[in-house]
Amino acid sequence: MVSPSDNVRVTGELTLANATLVLPTGCMRGWIRIHDGLIADLGEGDTVPGGAVDCGGDYVSPGLIELHTDNIERHIEPRPGVDWPHAAAIAAHDGELASTGITTVFDALRVGSIPSGKGRYIRYARALSRELLELRAQDMLKISHFLHLRAEVCSETLAEELTEFGPEDRVGLVSLMDHTPGQRQFRDLSKLEQYVKGKRGMNDAEFAEHVASLKALRDKHGAAHERAAVSEAARFGAVLASHDDTTAEQVAVSAAHGIRLAEFPTTLEAAQACRDNGIAVMMGAPNLIRGGSHSGNVAAAELAEAGLLDIVSSDYVPAALLQAAVKLGEDWGDMARGLATATSAPAAAVGLADRGRLEVGLRADLLRFRLAAHVPLVRGVWSRGAQVG
């Protein structure tokens, strides 16, 4: 993906010294110098030059790259039916991510709505994204934002909503979402029933009607919506991702579409099929930290142990991204490999060559943290050389 630059943040020079640098090939005690928003130099040793910040051995890694988070939706609707002022919500979301070490985010917005019936979903993505991009244009955001359009094929309006976006909108990811009951994430209808009844207060009859209406929508629009999402992703210049692949057959369809990133495959079979087809596997950090999926699907730890986990995503808990990457580093006995699941691996998956690694000439998106009882404590965050956390 070729993206326009973020607004340049010129901060002069800053040197972080006596740090444990998380490099692509391993960790090293050393120093790193930032000049005008870029990494200017780095080297080995525990000396602290005059004017440098003594990190006292803290880890310094690339800033984290988040490919799939619903966090912005939580800010604009903090309670069901509460529409929070959007500019304030976007700023709070941006600041929260910065405080957790995330310096690049692909904000996940649902496209594909159901404007009719009790189980309705209203359209919001185009209007909200315009507000976000306007704040970015005014240099009001701390970190780098791209759009991730969650293309819901089980809907009424997906194809129409996708036409409202263009290559100028920083759409970096389009994921093919299919939440038709009885397959993928909700193969177990009891899990869907628990989720929907808890969130929307449906009774048994309303839930049955909800399931039937979604299946009818998929039968009516699903194939056309899937074709539209694949085509529009190419028009945007965005990476195309699959979502909740469950079987090898579904992965084969994903591969035929040219998909190279799989979000949250639900079975070991699907994850192995992704590996066989050269598709990177992304799993949720909450799944890893909690020890399992809240939907009853495959555990991220099982995929990590099998060598089938490439990228982690905070999903719905921003602070979980760093915690999961550190946990993987400790579990694998290789902190650089663990941090790569939230830095260089997601950068490579979406074609961002200017970040995700501590290398001369790349963006000075940095994270300083230390561990206390295996919990990472953020000590500083820099986005293009400016301290934001």
Task: Give the single-character DSSP code of 184.
Answer: G
Query: Is the per-residue pLDDT at 179 higher than 50?
Result: yes
How much is the pLDDT for 117? 61
The answer for residues whose C-beta is within 8 angstroms of residue 334's C-beta and 6 or more apart is 26
Predicted pLDDT at 203:
74
Structure tokens at 125: 């993505």
Q: How far is it, in rounded angstroms, from Cα 258 to Cα 74?
A: 31
Q: What is the pLDDT of residues 224-256, one digit of tens each?
A: 899 999 999 999 999 999 999 999 999 999 999
Contact 324, 353 (CB under 8 A): no
**What mean pLDDT do residues 44-71 have?**
97
Residues 66 and 107 sit within 8 Å (Cβ to Cβ): no
| Distance between CA atoms of residues 180 and 271, nearest Å | 21
Contacts of 317 (CB under 8 A, 6+ apart): 285, 286
Spatial CA neighbour of 326 closest among 295, 270, 279, 372: 372
The reported pLDDT for the residue numbered 3 is 40
pLDDT score, position 2 = 37
Share of the chain above pLDDT 90, in %: 78
DSSP codes, 218-268: HHHHHHHHHHHHHHHHHHHTPEEEEES--SHHHHHHHHHTT--EEE--SSH
Share of the chain above pLDDT 70, in %: 88
Residue 352 has pLDDT above 70, yes or no: yes
User: What was the pLDDT predicted at 283?
Assistant: 97
SS (H, E, C) 52-66: CEECCCCEEEECEEE
Cα atoms found within 13 Å of the Cα of residue 360, Cβ hemisphere only: 5
What pLDDT sits at residue 5?
Answer: 47
Dist. CA 38–CA 361, nearest whole Å: 6
Checking if the pLDDT of 163 tops 50, the result is yes
Mean pLDDT of 170-177: 96
By C-alpha distance, which of 285, 215, 257, 251 is closest to 70? 285
Could you tell me the domains of the chain? Answer: 1-61+355-389 (2.30.40.10), 64-353 (3.20.20.140)
- Axis-axis angle for helices 189-200, 204-236 (nearest 10): 100
Of 32-36, 181-185, 206-210, which gets the smallest average pLDDT?
181-185
Q: Could you read off the pLDDT of 125-135 as tens digits, one per residue?
A: 999 999 999 99
316, pLDDT greater than 80 = yes
Nearest residue to 248 (alpha-carbon basis) of 279, 272, 224: 272
- Structure tokens, 35: 């000049």
265 or 217, higher pLDDT: 265
φ, ψ for residue 363, nearest 5 deg: -55, 140
Encode pLDDT of 185-226 as tens digits. Answer: 666 666 665 666 556 667 777 667 667 777 777 777 768 899
The tens digit of pLDDT for each residue in 100-112 reads 999 999 999 999 8
Give how far the C-alpha of residue 208 lies from the chain's centroid of Cα atoms, to the nearest Å.
32
Sign of CA dihedral 242, 70, 91, 113: positive
Q: What is the pLDDT of residues 321-347, one digit of tens each?
A: 999 999 999 999 999 999 999 999 999
Q: Which residue has the higher pLDDT, 273 or 211?
A: 273
pLDDT of 192 reads 62
Q: Which of 13, 126, 4, 117 is nearest to 364 (CA)?
A: 13
Q: Using alpha carbons, select from 294, 246, 296 the residue that is nearest to residue 271.
A: 246
